[in-house]
Every structure is written in structure tokens, then in C-alpha cells.
Amino acid sequence: MKHPQAYLKAGAAFICLVLGWWLWQGAEAVQQASSLAGPAAHYVSNAARETGAANIVAAILFDYRGYDTLGEATVIFTTVTGIAMLFARSKYRKSSTGLSFIVKRGLSFIVPFIIMYAAGIVLTGHLTPGGGFQGGAVFATSTILFCIVYGSNFEASRIHPKAKEFTESAGAVLFTVTGLVGLVLGAGFLANASAGFPTGEAGHFLSGGTIPILNIAVGLKVGAGLSTIFYSMVKFLEVKVVAPVEGDET
Amino acid sequence: MSTVLYGFFCVFLILTALVASEIEDILSSVISLSINGVLLAILFVILQAPDVALTQAVINSGLVTSLFLVAYSQTEKQDLRRGDDKK
């Protein structure tokens, strides 16, 4: 009985080594590549002129491949809806009181800077690395810190769960309406410069046409969505912790 | 210099991945996965992909770890130990 498992493990290790060697060769090839081919060459040479965005990654995500980004946002929306529906039937009973006074005061000094950092990532997504998805995730991290340090009751009293759901839906609607404006202007869904949006000058804050708007939409959506997921799970957790204690007493 | 640093991070990435998949304790596994995410983010910076590195750092080290910890603390501990399967 032992020998087949040993062969299986040896085979798995061999496959891992071969795949790792392949990946290493690929990374070496990418580092030594001297010229670009296909769409990559077009993007690198024309993205700043065609879209007005200095960050080529943002230009590809929100202009050339805007439809794919809408699909990704829909995936997150579906996930959040499913998780919120799954945990909606558990009743909210008791919240933790949070950590000690020192941690609470310390967090209250840090959180404004975290929120400013997140807003900076979202608003300058077309100039520097970052964008709506990353900034929204940092927003969600700040609400998760509130949940852990102050207790989820405090967090829910400051930002109501309904407000989060509204914010997420508002992000989705903003993204779709921005795409529909391009369609109405006769250039196609999620069209940017070809629909007549002013692209500005690459490197300026007001540039990139629809890219900053879509960044804000995705930031709203991801931030509200991820914090809704965490709040739903924590709410469920605190019910589960209370329940066995009641069962032991009776 | 860059290749040495690259290889160093790659070796540690493999080590943390092995620890995350093979260790018995699930809490240690989750923490090891978080360290794996941080190392991967540093590697992305070395490979000049700051956008992906930012996503990796925030999502894998912050959000996924906290979600895993919440899921860990609300499930039954005994059923998830890998040692129980082998008995």
C-alpha cells in the first residue's frame, strides 16, 4: 500500500520541478527580451497618445479592454450578492467590544492616512500604478480594521450595511452609464477618445477621458463589496460563538 | 545582484508554499500563505510590475488572510486536521 503513494509523490515532485524549471526559463526570457511584438508594441507606442493616460496598464484595463473589466466587476458583484444572501438569515445578536484603549486610539490616528492613501490610489490611477481595484481594496481594509479593533457593532453603526450595498450598486451603475454614453454618442460601448471624451495631456491630473471616472466607479464597487463580504462573515461568526454557550447552559 | 536577490526570494517563496500546504496546523498554514503573498509582491516589484504588486500585497496579505482567519475561527477545528484523515 505504501509503494503506490511513494510513486505518486515522486511523480508529483517531478512535475513540480519541470514546471518550475519552465517558469524560470520564461522569466529569464522575459528579462532578456529586446523587442515587443503584436498588440504589445502598439500599446506601448500609442497608448499615451490615444487615451491620454500616462499609466499604460490603466489605459489597457479601462480603455482597450474596458469590457473585460466590466466582466470582472460583475464577478465581484455576483460574489458579494451571493455571500450576503447566504449569511442574511443569521440574526445579528452580539458584537465584540473590541480591543484595548491603546489600540483604539492608535488606530484612530492611522485610519485617516489609510483612507487618504486609498483615495490617492483611486484618483491617480491613470497616472501612477494603482487604480480602482487596488484603492477599493485599501478602503475595504480600513473598514476591516474598524471591525476588528472597535467591534462590528461600532462599524455597522458608523457605516450602515444598506449604505454599503447602495454604494456598490452606485459604482456598478456609474460604470455602465459611462459605457452607455459612448454607445449613445455613436462610438460603441465603453468607447473613450473615439466617443469625443477629452483626453487631455498625458501626465496631467485631468486626463485620460473616461478612465478616472471608471476608476472611481470600480473603487466604490470593490471597496463596498469587499467590506460587505467581511462584515457578513464576521456577523455570522459572532452568532456562532454565542450559540454553543447557550446550548451548554440549558 | 538582481539575480541573486531574485533567486533568494524564489527559494523562500517555495519554502513558504511548502509550509502552507504541508503543515498540520491550519493557523500556521494561513500565516505562511500571507508571508508567501508578501514575498510574491516583492518579486512583482523586482520584475517591474507595480500594479500587480499593489493588488497582490493588499488582496493576498490583507483581505484573504483576514477572510481565512474568520473562516478558521468559525469552523470546527478537529475536522480540518489533516492527521485525522490518515488514521
Partner residue opposite B55 with nearest CB, options A58, A133, A241? A133
CA distance A163 to chain B (A): 21
The owner of cell 466607479 is A217
Query: A197 lies in a domain?
Result: yes
Cα–Cα–Cα angle for A151, A159, A71, rounded to 5 degrees? 110
How far is residue B61 from each of residues A46, A237, B4, B37, B57, measured CA to CA in Å? 35, 21, 25, 6, 5
Q: Which three cell numbers stand for residue A2?
A: 505504501
Q: A137–B62: do the CB atoms touch at under 8 Å?
A: yes
Query: A34 lies in a domain?
Result: no
Residues of B in contact with A121 (CB under 8 A): 54
Average pLDDT over residues B70-85: 64
* Domain span including residue A97: 53-249
Contact with chain A for residue B51, Cβ under 8 A:
yes
Domain B2-86: assigned CATH number: 1.20.120.1200
Residues of B in contact with A80 (CB under 8 A): none
Q: pLDDT digits over A181-233, tens only?
A: 888 888 888 888 888 788 878 778 888 888 889 999 999 999 999 998 888 88
Query: A103 lies in a domain?
Result: yes
| Each residue's pLDDT expressed in tens, for chain A with a length of 250 residues | 567 888 998 999 999 999 989 988 887 887 777 777 788 888 888 888 888 888 888 888 888 888 899 999 899 989 998 988 888 776 655 666 778 889 999 999 999 999 999 999 999 988 888 888 999 999 999 988 888 888 877 878 888 888 998 999 999 999 999 989 888 888 888 888 888 788 878 778 888 888 889 999 999 999 999 998 888 888 765 554 444 444 444 4
Query: A9 lies in a domain?
Result: no
Query: A89 lies in a domain?
Result: yes
What is the H or E stretch that residue A41 is in?
helix A39-51
Partner residue opposite B74 with nearest CB, options A58, A144, A236? A236
Q: Model-level pTM greater than 0.90?
A: no
Number of domains in chain A: 1
Closest alpha carbon within chain A to B45: A129
What is the predicted pLDDT for the residue at A138? 92
Query: A43 lies in a domain?
Result: no
> ipTM score of the complex?
0.77
Q: A233–B51: do the CB atoms touch at under 8 Å?
A: no
Which residues 98-157 of chain A have a CB within 8 Å of chain B?
121, 129-131, 133-134, 137-138, 140-141, 144, 148
